[in-house]
Amino acid sequence: MTKQPITVLQLYPNDMNIYGDHGNVLVLQRRLEWYGYEPTIIHYNVGDAFPKSVDIVIGGGGQDSGQEIIHADLIKIGPKLKELAENDTPMLLVCGLYQLFGNFFKTLNGNTLTGIGILDVETHGTNERLIGNIVTNNEDFGNIIGYENHSGQTFLGKNVQPFATVFKGAGNNSKDGHEGARYKNVIGTYLHGSVLPKNPKIADFLIQTAVTKKYGEFSTDVVDDQIADQARAVASERPR
């Protein structure tokens, strides 16, 4: 039997990749293979043609300079991404691209980078760096374990839900006690570490959503996540 293909679109791997974002893509790729599907990873960079068919979108963190490089291109493809999001396509955006999937990012010196507005959030640059190990909790995914490192603080609007509640660490900002944002199947988060390897339930959510949407059903072999469980146990006990 030929394997059913699933296409993963990775946004801007050349410029937005500094916090192990490759790890998230690798986890999707391998788990799709282990579940018996045929993953195709498309590396989308500035100026590339936007692919016709996309099942999962994933994007990572960058430095301020990286955000500036990709900004115009992201605005250009924004409507296509918005259409995918409205169409229930699963997406995971970490750190820098989480911010730019919001309404805007206002830097410390008053410059405003417009976002593509898929997530109703706004981000403000600060002098305070929220940094360290973080543990959050989400009803569907249980404890989520990662590492945060950002000086932009994100505030949520009405049309978006927090992704998780913070147990240990800061999260979106130093006030609200929640982390990330969720709209339909789009997840924005500050967590790296990378986030998917130690939180396979989120990886499986993205995969299962994409596969069910495309093929109507999802059948899987069980993946052995014992090492991930041990890594989660150790990481959640480490100092901030």
Task: Point out the residues that are catalytic.
Answer: 95, 192
Residue 192 found at the interface with another protein (CB under 8 A): yes
Q: Which amino acid is residue 53, in one-letter code? A: S
Structure tokens at 56: 């999962």
Which listed residue (78, 132, 142, 177) binds another protein by CB under 8 A? Answer: 132
User: Which residues are paired to 136 by β-bridges?
Assistant: 144, 166
Nearer to another protein, 58 or 228 (CB): 228
Residue 17 found at the interface with another protein (CB under 8 A): yes
Tell me the closest approach of the beta carbon of residue 164 to another protein, in angstroms.
19
**Please, what is the angle between helix 21-34 and helix 200-215, to 10°?**
60
> x/- string (CB under 8 A) for another protein, residues 219-238?
--------xx-xx-xxx--x
Q: Among the candidate windows 20-28, 76-84, 164-172, 180-188, which touches another protein by CB under 8 A? A: 20-28
Interface positions, 72-91, toward another protein (CB under 8 A): none
Nearer to another protein, 118 or 148 (CB): 148
For residue 73, CA distances in Å to 14, 59, 142, 208, 240 come to: 13, 14, 35, 29, 36
Pairwise CA distance, residues 190 & 196, whole Å? 12
With H, G, I as helix, E, B as strand and everything else as coil, classify residue 122.
Answer: strand
Pairwise CA distance, residues 234 & 232, whole Å? 5
Tell me the closest approach of the beta carbon of residue 77 to another protein, in angstroms.
19
Nearer to another protein, 103 or 123 (CB): 123
Residue 63 found at the interface with another protein (CB under 8 A): yes
Nearer to another protein, 29 or 161 (CB): 29
Q: In three state form, how does the secondary structure of 125-194 look? A: EEEEEEEEEEEEEECCCEEEEEEEEEEEEEEECCCCEEEEEEEECCCCCCCCCEEEEEECCEEEECCECC
CB distance 98 to 173 below 8 Å: no
How many residues bind to another protein according to rule CB under 8 A?
37
Which listed residue (6, 8, 20, 37) binds another protein by CB under 8 A? Answer: 20
Residue 193 found at the interface with another protein (CB under 8 A): yes
User: C-alpha dihedral over 229, 235, 236, 237, to 10 degrees?
Assistant: 120
Q: Which residues bind another protein (CB under 8 A)?
A: 13-14, 17-23, 26-27, 30, 43, 63-65, 129, 131-133, 147, 149, 151, 192-194, 197-198, 227-228, 230-231, 233-235, 238-239
